[in-house]
């Protein structure tokens, strides 16, 4: 194969062991669509920009193939042979299919829209330890959506006040309480002291309510420290941890999952920084492949978007992500490739970001009952305070689960919440 030519073959039938990527592509002005598509496949596999003397015939089996392209929609499908990838090495795989290609002169815009993993690659991983069913069993909540909150303000509280916010949320009706993405182990709220203080508050809340309660402490840190924190959680009565998946990186996530085989903690994933990759609809990496990667590596909960709320993300985007996280087989809808998960457990979708109790019906309507409805300001901003806010959130979830209109609920706290945020436009 010469330079960037020869990587388009619309007669190619993908092998069952091929990894398939779908890209949205806009060629640079004046560059033929097929030339740009071929360049993407070449640069992400065995090609380069000019003829070289070091090519060998045996390398051709590692070449990527553009087997489908549509200049009108801008989408191309590229098949990569499994032997192009190192076993259990997501960083290497992404360096291939999402590496140099975004900076190539042949394209003005390029977006990795979806990835379909072959069965053999999925066999390298064991998926989530708990999944949806395991989390529900741990919390003893069978059907309704789970109710969660984030301790707010997201940083600045000392350990005692942090634990008090968590306690109030649990007593009011929250199932789970988590740290926010930028609270780890700062001097004003050290990791160990915060965890121990908040776990004591969890235990008190369980005695008061008779319900299981969970605390997701943020273990995000450089590699060894992150693993040390995970073990500290396990050794001191914790059952959950959370991690900022993109800022710690894919290799750290693989290490954390493997380390967690010994601990068996539920892992909640925060997608902080994702919009730097996902927000531009024409360039970067969509949330869909990120979600699929986290399910494959093996994490139990992931922020998936809300459709409503303060974060961007439309119905099609968010429902595709939730489908990829939660369904045994994702049907090919729209531009999604689909994915047979071959027994890998589903990951719980988390709806979070500018959510208040009045959003619950829309969230459940679009995402179903298997969702964790997580409200931060939508609980702590309640006129009656955190306990009242949690009561309102729980009442909203229970009303929707029972098919009752929110305005028909007898919860005074819920009615207050609906009145208080009646002017919210997102």
So which residues are the catalytic ones? 152, 270
Backbone angles phi, psi at 317, to 5 degrees: -60, -50
Give the three-state DSSP class for 330.
Answer: strand
Give the three-state DSSP class for 256.
Answer: helix
**3 contacts: CB under 8 Å, gap ≥ 6:** 42, 47, 48, 49, 50, 51
- Give alpha helix (H) positions in 141-222: 159-172, 191-209
* Nearest of 10, 6, 4 to residue 71 by alpha carbon: 10
Encoding tokens for residue 43?
């640069």
Angstrom distance (rounded) from CA 391 to CA 380: 11
Angstrom distance (rounded) from CA 379 to CA 357: 8
Encoding tokens for residue 391?
């009561």
Angstrom distance (rounded) from CA 358 to CA 393: 9
Place of tokens 């273990």: 219
Angstrom distance (rounded) from CA 259 to CA 255: 6
**Cβ-based neighbour number of residue 203 at 10 Å:** 13
Angstrom distance (rounded) from CA 166 to CA 386: 9
Encoding tokens for residue 17?
């062991």
Determine if the peptide bond prior to 153 is cis (ω within 30°): yes
Sheet containing strand 65-70, strands side by side: 65-70, 75-80, 19-27, 107-116, 284-285
C-beta separation of 138 from 365 below 8 A: no
C-beta separation of 116 from 77 below 8 A: no
Encoding tokens for residue 385?
């305070």
C-beta separation of 397 from 374 below 8 A: no
Residue 22: beta bridge partners? 77, 114
Encoding tokens for residue 75?
């989408």
């Amino acid at each position: 194969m010469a330079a960037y030519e020869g990587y388009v073959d619309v007669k190619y039938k993908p092998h069952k062991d091929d990894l398939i990527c779908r890209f949205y592509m806009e060629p640079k002005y004046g560059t033929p669509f097929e030339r740009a598509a071929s360049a993407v496949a070449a640069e992400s596999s065995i090609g380069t920009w000019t003829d070289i003397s070091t090519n060998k015939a045996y390398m051709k089996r590692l070449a990527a193939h553009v087997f489908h392209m549509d200049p009108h929609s801008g989408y191309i499908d590229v098949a990569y042979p499994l032997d192009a990838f190192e076993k259990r090495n997501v960083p290497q795989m992404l360096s291939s299919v999402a590496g140099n290609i975004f900076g190539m002169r042949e394209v003005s815009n390029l977006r990795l829209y979806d990835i379909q993993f072959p069965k053999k690659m999925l066999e390298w991983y064991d998926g989530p330890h708990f999944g949806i069913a395991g989390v529900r069993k741990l919390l003893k909540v069978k059907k309704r959506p789970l109710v969660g909150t984030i301790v707010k303000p997201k940083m600045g509280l000392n350990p005692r006040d942090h634990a008090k916010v968590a306690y109030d949320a649990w007593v009011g009706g929250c199932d789970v309480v988590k740290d926010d993405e930028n609270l780890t182990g700062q001097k004003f709220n050290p990791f160990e002291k915060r965890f121990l203080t908040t776990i004591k508050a969890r235990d008190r809340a369980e005695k008061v309510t008779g319900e299981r309660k969970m605390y997701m402490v943020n273990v995000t840190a450089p590699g060894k420290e992150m693993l040390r924190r995970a073990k500290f959680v396990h050794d001191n009565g914790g059952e959950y941890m959370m991690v900022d998946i993109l800022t710690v990186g894919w290799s750290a996530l693989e290490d954390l999952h493997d380390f967690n085989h010994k601990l068996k903690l539920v892992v909640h994933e925060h997608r902080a920084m994702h919009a730097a990759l996902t927000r531009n609809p024409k360039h970067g990496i969509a949330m869909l492949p990120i979600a699929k990667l986290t399910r494959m590596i093996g994490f139990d909960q992931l922020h998936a978007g809300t459709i409503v709320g303060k974060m961007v993300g439309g119905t099609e985007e968010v429902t595709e992500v939730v489908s990829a996280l939660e369904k045994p087989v994702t049907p090919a809808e729209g531009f999604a490739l689909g994915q047979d998960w071959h027994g890998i457990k589903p990951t719980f979708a988390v709806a979070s970001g500018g959510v208040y109790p009045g959003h619950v019906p829309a969230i459940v309507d679009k995402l179903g009952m298997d969702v964790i409805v997580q409200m931060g300001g939508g609980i702590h901003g309640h006129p009656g305070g955190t306990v009242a806010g949690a009561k309102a959130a729980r009442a909203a979830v229970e009303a929707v689960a029972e098919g009752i209109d929110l305005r028909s609920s007898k919860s005074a706290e819920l009615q207050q919440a609906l009145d208080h945020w009646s002017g919210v436009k997102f």
